[in-house]
């Protein structure tokens, strides 16, 4: 953008995207004028916003509301971001957390996913080499009410991975019922392998003698796919429960499509391979409809290939399109750099 008009449009678009990421609400010309020192009056900002809307960078969710970025608006914002690093304190905290994760690859990748999730408050994914012949055991079962009869079942594994399934129950869910069902499932399944649960789920759960157990059995039966042994790369996902607090993950159908993709590791691995390509050291970023899978279109995916111990893996962040892009890119690059240095 070389002309003064184009430069003004760039500044206004950047200001709007930053404010929208921070405030999570449509942004008006008045809000931009009050929050940003652009040297442009509100009337001029309104004119620029109208032009950006015509060009497809913004849209109005309501007639009288402010504007929010489109996928094209986010892309224009991201493409002009200058390379940014982490602050010294944050870099030290990151390296300390990675060192504390240990040298065992499984534990290191699990710790890496936890760090990425905690630093970004989004879903972190780490794909790494699977330990051959390893028996995956269940370490916990949690159940979340997502409204309208939709229930999210989360099974945690000793590898650090989390399996999720969104199911629909055609029954009235009274307060406390899902908690009791979760406790029942955890007591019966914790410490058992995925293979054992898949083969003997009916025997393990036994007869449903009360409503809580009946709900538990119903949920486990509808979520049987969650107990399939893993294939291909070992994927660790962290931050799923935290991400559910964000409005972009609130829609049950959208969440169901996302979790179905995440659960199909072979499909997800192939999508990552096509998306990231062969380049090491390059961060790939897909916003909304740029994503390789339709289920990811409401979100942003940031991913990068790394190599460790002669094996290839992936680091990624999956979150809302209004994520903090500069910081997320810097985190991914810093962690990938740390993993690569372990091979030196």
* CATH number for the domain that contains residue 15: 1.10.10.10
* Cα–Cα–Cα angle for 319, 116, 145, rounded to 5 degrees: 50
Q: What is the mean pLDDT of the chain?
A: 82
236 and 263 co-located in one domain:
yes
Predicted pLDDT of residue 198: 76
41 and 161 co-located in one domain:
no
The residues near 200 (Cβ < 8 Å, ≥ 6 apart) are: none
8 and 72 co-located in one domain:
yes
234 and 126 co-located in one domain:
yes
Domain boundary among 157, 192, 227: 227
106-130 exposure pattern, b = at least 16 Cβ within 10 A, e = fewer: bebbbbbbbbbbebbbbbbbbbbbb
The answer on pLDDT for 342 being more than 90 is no
Segment 139-165 shows an average pLDDT of 84
67 and 116 co-located in one domain:
no
Is-contact 21 27, C-beta < 8 A?
A: no
Q: Determine the 3-state secondary structure of 300 from DSSP.
A: strand
The answer on pLDDT for 149 being more than 60 is yes
149 and 57 co-located in one domain:
no
211 φ, ψ (degrees, to nearest 5): -65, -40
Domain boundary among 179, 210, 227: 227
Q: Give the CATH number of the domain where residue 245 resides.
A: 3.30.450.40
92 and 174 co-located in one domain:
no
282 and 222 co-located in one domain:
no
The answer on pLDDT for 330 being more than 60 is yes
- The pair of structure tokens assigned to 180 is 């009791």
Q: Where are the beta strands (DSSP E) in 158-244?
A: 162-168, 234-238
pLDDT band at residue 77, thresholds of 50, 70 and 90? very high
- The pair of structure tokens assigned to 15 is 């200001």
236 and 293 co-located in one domain:
yes
The tally of CA atoms less than 13 A away on the side-chain side of residue 159 is 27
306/233 Cα distance (integer angstroms): 13
pLDDT digits (tens, 9 = 90+) for 81-99: 866 777 788 888 888 888 8
Domain that holds residue 28: 4-79
114 and 250 co-located in one domain:
yes
Q: Give the CATH number of the domain where residue 171 resides.
A: 3.30.390.10
pLDDT digits (tens, 9 = 90+) for 229-286: 654 456 778 887 777 777 777 777 787 788 777 777 667 777 877 788 766 678 889 9
Predicted pLDDT of residue 132: 45
Predicted pLDDT of residue 21: 92
pLDDT digits (tens, 9 = 90+) for 289-320: 998 888 889 899 999 888 776 667 888 898 89
Domain boundary among 209, 227, 245: 227
The residues near 142 (Cβ < 8 Å, ≥ 6 apart) are: 153, 154, 156, 182, 186, 241
Lowest mean pLDDT across 150-159, 163-172, 233-242, 300-309: 233-242
Domain count, the chain: 3
pLDDT digits (tens, 9 = 90+) for 32-61: 988 877 777 778 898 999 999 999 999 998
221 and 253 co-located in one domain:
no
Segment 195-223 shows an average pLDDT of 80
250 and 171 co-located in one domain:
no
The structure tokens 């055609």 sit at 170
């Amino acid at each position: 953008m070389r002309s003064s008009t184009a430069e003004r449009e760039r500044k206004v678009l950047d200001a709007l995207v930053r404010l929208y990421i921070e405030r999570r609400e449509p942004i008006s010309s008045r809000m931009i004028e009050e929050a940003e020192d652009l040297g442009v009056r509100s009337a001029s900002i309104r004119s620029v916003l109208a032009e950006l809307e015509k060009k497809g960078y913004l849209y109005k969710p309501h007639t009288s509301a402010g504007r929010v970025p489109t996928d094209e608006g986010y892309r224009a914002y991201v493409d002009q971001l200058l390379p940014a690093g982490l602050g010294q304190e944050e870099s030290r905290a990151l390296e300390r957390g990675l060192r504390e994760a240990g040298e065992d690859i499984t534990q290191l990748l699990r710790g890496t996913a936890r760090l990425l999730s905690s630093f970004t408050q989004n879903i972190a994914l780490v794909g790494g080499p699977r330990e051959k012949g390893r028996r995956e055991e269940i370490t916990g079962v949690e159940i979340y009410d997502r409204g309208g009869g939709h229930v999210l079942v989360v099974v945690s594994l000793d590898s650090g991975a989390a399996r999720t399934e969104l199911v629909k129950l055609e029954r009235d869910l009274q307060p406390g019922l899902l908690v009791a069902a979760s406790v029942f499932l955890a007591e019966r399944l914790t410490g058992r392998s995925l293979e054992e649960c898949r083969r003997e789920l009916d025997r393990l759960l036994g007869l449903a003698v009360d409503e809580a157990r009946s709900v538990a059995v119903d949920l486990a039966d509808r979520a049987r796919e969650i107990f399939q042994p893993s294939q291909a790369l070992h994927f660790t996902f962290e931050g799923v429960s935290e991400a559910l607090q964000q409005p972009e993950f609130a829609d049950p159908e959208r969440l169901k499509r996302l979790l179905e993709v995440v659960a199909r590791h072979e499909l997800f691995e192939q999508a990552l391979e096509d998306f990231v390509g062969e380049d090491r050291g390059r961060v790939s970023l897909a916003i909304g409809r740029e994503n390789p899978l339709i289920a990811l279109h409401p979100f942003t995916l940031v991913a990068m290939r790394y190599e460790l111990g002669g094996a290839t893996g992936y680091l990624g962040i999956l979150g809302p399109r209004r994520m903090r892009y500069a910081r997320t890119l810097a985190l991914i690059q810093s962690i990938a750099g740390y993993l690569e240095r372990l091979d030196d």
